[in-house]
Amino acid sequence: MKLAIHGYGATGHYVEELAPAEVVAVIDQTKSAEKIPSYQTVSELTEEVDAIIDFSHPSLLPDLLAYGLKTKTPLVIATTGFSEAELQTIKDASTEIPIFQSYNMSFGIAMMQQLLQVLVPLASSFDIELLEKHHNQKVDAPSGTAELLLRTIQELRDVQPVYERESTREKRQASEIGMHSMRGGTIFGEHEVLFAGVDELIEIKHTALSKKVFASGAIKAAEALIQKSAGLYTLETLYSQEDSHVTN
């Protein structure tokens, strides 16, 4: 498998470290890769690759999709902070090429989603709150993973997110789900879903101890994706035995 890394920040470096034989090119404005051919833009890429792993910036999405569509290259998109319009362009492109898009590449988060599938219907009388913590350099809030977990919960229960309560002076409604963000230090990523009932609490929590977990997940996703047909894949569908994917 031949990979190109789109975005050469900390996680991109870990992709290179964990899959050294597979990485044949790096696309980054700094062109700072030392031992691998590097390019400032994806349109300059000359190496043939089986997949591109993207840990870059939403502003680079149009060029990435254009290259993927032109060359029919599978894309693993792990960048966060996309708008709804940008997510729609990813979905549109996936009708022609296989694309894996997730705000979290961790297998543990996929397990957390599976636990929510079981617990949310069972805990129908419990209030739900969602807390995420990240490092002090993260600019988007709440995190993409928090939004991913929110969508999982909303598929199972009619709840509306509340991002702040300072402006309202009233008791909590049963239809609410509180979304809380904390930023500080070098926290890689921590997500917790709290189910609060009468005199009892249930907490599901995932903590990433290193960005390596995201790089490793992206590599595994690329390995699986190159065997797939066109479609938009998620953590829940990518590893299914059948060739199932999101199409709507």
What value does the mean pLDDT take over residues 160-182?
Answer: 90
Judge whether 244 is annotated as a binding position. no
Judge whether 102 is annotated as a binding position. yes
Token digits of residue 150 = 């929110």
Q: Is residue 238 over pLDDT 80?
A: no
Sign of CA dihedral 72, 65, 190, 195: negative
d(CA 182, CA 187): 10
Tell me which residues are annotated as active site.
134, 138
What value does the mean pLDDT take over residues 197-226?
Answer: 93
Residue 246 lies in a domain: no
d(CA 41, CA 28): 7
Judge whether 112 is annotated as a binding position. no
Q: How many domains does the chain have?
A: 2
Residue 43 lies in a domain: yes
- Residue 89 DSSP label: H
Same domain? 13 vs 75: yes
d(CA 129, CA 166): 16
What value does the mean pLDDT take over residues 177-200?
Answer: 96
Residue 243 lies in a domain: no
Quote the pTM value: 0.77
Q: CB burial class (10 A; 0-12, 13-18, 19+) of residue 229?
A: exposed
Residue 155 lies in a domain: yes
Cross-strand pairs, 4 = 25, 52
Residue 247 lies in a domain: no
Q: Is residue 42 over pLDDT 80?
A: yes
Per-residue pLDDT at 239: 59
Q: Is residue 200 over pLDDT 70?
A: yes
Same domain? 82 vs 138: no
Angle, in degrees to the nearest 10, between helices 107-122 and 212-225: 90
Residue 244 lies in a domain: no
Per-residue pLDDT at 242: 43
Residue 248 lies in a domain: no
Q: What rounded mean pLDDT belongs to the chain?
A: 90
- What domain range is 80 assigned to? 3-105+211-238
Say which CATH number the domain at 81 has.
Answer: 3.40.50.720
Q: Report H helices in 19-170.
A: 61-71, 84-93, 107-122, 144-154
Q: Is residue 241 over pLDDT 50?
A: no
Token digits of residue 123 = 């805990």
Per-residue pLDDT at 199: 97
Same domain? 123 vs 7: no
Per-residue pLDDT at 248: 37
Same domain? 101 vs 7: yes
Judge whether 103 is annotated as a binding position. yes
For 240, phi then psi, to 5°, come to: -70, 150
Judge whether 91 is annotated as a binding position. no
3-state secondary structure 175-201: CEEEEEEEECCCCCEEEEEEEEECCEE
Same domain? 79 vs 127: no
Q: Is residue 16 over pLDDT 50?
A: yes
Per the CB < 8 A criterion, the answer to whether 64 and 124 are in contact is no
Per-residue pLDDT at 240: 52
Sheet containing 189-197: which strands, arranged edge to edge?
160-162, 176-183, 127-134, 189-197, 200-208
Q: What is the pLDDT of residues 92-141, one digit of tens each?
A: 999 999 999 988 888 888 889 989 999 999 999 999 999 999 999 988 89
Judge whether 35 is annotated as a binding position. yes
